[in-house]
Amino acid sequence: MLTITGLAQGPDAVGRHDGRVIFVPGAAPGDRVRVRVAEQHGNYARAVLVHRCEAGPSYREPPCPWIGECGGCPWQHVDYPTQLAAKAANVRETLKRIAGVTAGAELAIVAAPAEWEYRHRIRLHVGPGRTLGYRRARSHAVVAIEHCRIADPLLSSSLGAVRALTARLATRVDDVEMAANGRGGIALHAIAHGGFHEHDADAIERWLAETPAAAGVQLRGHGWVRRYGDLRLHVAAPEIDTRAGSFTQVNPAANRLLIASVTALVEPGTRVLDLFCGAGNLSLPLARQAASVVGVDHDREAIADAARSAVASGLTTVRFEAAHAERFLRRHGLAGADTVVLDPPRGGAPAVATQLARLLPARILYVSCDPATLARDVRTLAAVGYAAARVQALDLFPQTAHVETVLEAVLTAG
């Protein structure tokens, strides 16, 4: 019998037996379970849940019929307050373990406005027989799904139509990203393997004509791209017009809270350098209060979208440059900024952290969706005198182990 004591970042539940950590998917804190050990390692093991002998106070019946197979929402059997507490603890403990830092002030984790139906963008995989779904946990196998509890209802109700399209195409499609376009429709961005079969153009046009919710389709392969219909996406708060395939935060309602958290840490009159700015998610709101903002991203199309959105919003104190962040810093330094904001992909920004440790801006606001890579980069900054003044965890991804973090690093020593 094993008693579950917490949730790992990994995203399994954890317990201890004879001094060894046991990772158990599908369990909740407080559960008493019987397990079968599947993998033995030095100081830990991975196990399979055999029987929940006694449910803990945080356990709830999961609403999704595919939870036993799909790896998309592994915490939906855990009540929401317990999810939030685990995410906050994981951020705190990861910063301490990897970076050796403790925040001067740890702000209370911000809950998502809604636990369900929050994603305006989902990424699906195409499996054998043109099955369409999410990956099985720790596997490349595709679990076919009929609906998704965390997706925008429009996306969930359109899964059948998208499955029908992928089945029609001779072009081999590996992944499909569905996005709600902010205007009552959906736009698809598909990644293909191999070449494009030209007669698929007619099939896509017919599908767009006969599918009321469908606005546009983009197919991209190695060295080629095809676009059909209207691929524009409108994101409110901030007001951004971008296109299918461009990065946007998956949870629009919680993204507003993220923006509020970042802008609250930037005083009026500050000069800001926003690295990995994308289509301007943080740059545009910051431009309403900062003296100046320079947004930098390697995606030229996203930069063009950001510049157009700035013009449409009448913002004149922000400019955008298409460049890799590390190269920009090598060439231009801090570009006159006293505060650097960076919001890199999940892999973090080790090379950029190294450059910032050389340039020494007064303040750094690091926005991260992975506590481990955040902590790794913060360790680089801490080594040259930065202190973690404030840390704010936000839940943009309910029912999963993922968590967004805003960390304010202040230079305290030269």
Q: How far is CA 414 from the centre of its chain?
A: 34
The strands making up 186-193's β-sheet, listed across from edge to edge, are: 142-144, 132-135, 121-126, 172-180, 186-193, 214-221, 224-229
Give the other-Cβ count within 10 Å of 55's Cβ: 16
In angstroms, the first-to-last Cα distance of the chain is 54
DSSP letter for each residue of 27-41: --TT-EEEEEEEEE-
Q: Is 73 labeled as catalytic in the residue annotation? A: no
User: Considering 73, 148, 277, 369, which one is annotated as catalytic?
Assistant: 369
CA dist 269 and 302 (Å) reads 26
Q: Which two tokens stand for residue 70?
A: 């799909």
Give the other-Cβ count within 10 Å of 195's Cβ: 12
Nearest to 266 by CA among 247, 281, 287, 250: 287
* Residue whose structure tokens are 């991209």: 220
The DSSP bridge partners found for residue 59 are: 78
Q: Which residues have a catalytic role annotated?
A: 369
